[in-house]
Structure 1
């Protein structure tokens, strides 16, 4: 074969090989970039809140252990956990978020999947804002349906876990697939139902925690109260407790709770409490 032809053929092979190598290197580079993007997305979240909000959070298991023993002491250090159930709502939650931001304090929102679904884009944006503002997101079920979760006032574990998983999927749809939370609050409270040992075992196996409360403003109990009355109830319920887990609601019809919140925050600030979230 002519020497020039052989050289030309080799050149073609080398060029082709070079193109393949460049293509391979580019592909590997893109894979690495995508892996780094995924890792960065994962690292944005610790469980229940953004990583940069970790400084405001506290281990919910430790608090639940204290509550289960009716031990609200904390070596003289006062902590308050503002918690809001049943939201988000398009009417009450925005005002609560604004008050929290103005006072530079953080809360834990026990979200229901149905409220997210029913509130459409507005509720989705509120959930994103809760996370972005440094609050903790916890689950309060999808349906909040007592008859489904606790037929004849007794836990149905399959119904319960599937309902909460539906809520989790709704939150992931909005916040991203890498978001997760291990903190739940049972609709009606863990304390209210029979057969809860099965749930406790399930939560233990899955490194989750159910947490109730040791104080409340009674915005969902008894006669309807105005803001001033809600503040007074919250004060009375929290008296002499170094650890306070305060139950409130940010669902529809709780406008008085939103109005009461500035004075509730002021009370805890004036009495030396540190505001924490549950993770």
Structure 2
């Protein structure tokens, strides 16, 4: 799926003439996308999901987290990402087998140093396989392997790109505790193995990250709390096979998060998150909406 900071690489390269962190501080994963019920698999069937994202940023930070004060720097991204999930009904290693496909639709505008560029189209798609487990009436988990495909439009040197021009593989573990009138908590952990961008001979370092939320069931289908993400690049970037010093990105986000469960098989979550302590990347805020419904 398209990530809200993926355009920061082009901004840094074009406006600053320097390569920094996962080819500019972005990621192929949309940090903070997941919310309540991240690890709670529904019964066998086909399900539709829609993720919506509005992201804005007006600063980009260096390796110490200081604002680089790029003149006129601004990012606006609107994303609608349909997701199709099939819970097959088959059992593998004691878990319920699932497969999924995500196709992000992106509207992006980037401005920096007196230049501006906009692009719209399909971003980098995601396909995956997973196993879901129900440990109790309240505790659930999913183990999965996702593959990110370089399907998004990319032109080397452009200020705005809606694809990262490389593939990635990510093992995922998600855990959910669900109580309609008590504590609710979710965490989705992943480790991203980034591949090489053949047009720039640049390979971003691998990344550890997690999305999280914690809230309280208020009854009548409502849950309220907080949510966000944490990210940390674990390896240095490489350009033409040479490691780049001070090229790791990191950061976090936190904000209010709510869920409404209809009790009829569909639910909606919403989250607003403010990014903090970002190093080697853009820093802004995002509104995330997730809707899940049976087909």
| Shorter-chain TM-score tier | 0.3 to 0.5
User: Which structure exhibits the higher relative contact order, with contacts defined as CA atoms closer than 8 Å and separated by 6 or more residues?
Assistant: 1
Q: Give the greater-gyration-radius structure (CA).
A: 1
Higher strand share: 2
TM-score (norm 2): 0.31
TM-score (norm 1): 0.32
